[in-house]
Amino acid sequence: MPLYETVLIARNDINQQQAEAIAEGIKTYLEGESGSVKKQEYWGLRTLAYRIKKNRKAHYLLLGLEAKPEAMREIERQLSLNEDVLRVLTLRVDEIDETPSPVLSRKGEDRGERGGFRGPKSSGRFDSGRSSRRSYDDREEYRARDENPAETAGAEE
């Protein structure tokens, strides 16, 4: 039986459970037609590159399907009639990769980088590093001079 990968883009007005319910409807239909869903991934609510039917964000789903061509035509027909589905792309593939898709693996890496160490902090706008830096002892000396101006005046002469 041929293998297919389908990516669904659903409206952002629905929640994640409703988006996954669309995938469950496909699964129940395929089980009746002696097909199966080999892989199902929810990619999350993502920003679209351009507006689709007045939507700026959408839920993305990836499905790896094993089905007859007639069943796939019926699934695509049903999805085109569903008001919650904005776009559908179905491709016939030689095999379905069971590992997480690059979209999911990249998503996990992004979260790890944000919380970790980001490297040394850059010096501020006014601290360019060109001026001579004073140590802690130098600052103590200047503070003592400022507190007792009479002592410093006598010491200079």
Quote the pLDDT of residue 18. 92
Which alpha helices (DSSP H) does 3-157 contain, by range?
16-32, 69-81, 102-115, 136-147, 149-156
Quote the pLDDT of residue 145. 63
What whole-number distance in Å separates Cα of residue 148 and Cα of residue 86?
A: 77
Quote the pLDDT of residue 97. 85
Angle, helix 16-32 to helix 69-81, in steps of 10 degrees? 150
Which of 89 and 156 is assigned the larger pLDDT? Answer: 89
Which helix (H) or strand (E) segment is 42 a member of?
strand 36-52
pLDDT, one tens digit per residue, over 85-138 is 999 999 999 998 888 888 887 766 655 555 555 556 666 565 555 555 555 555
Domains and CATH numbers, the chain: 3-98 (3.30.70.60)
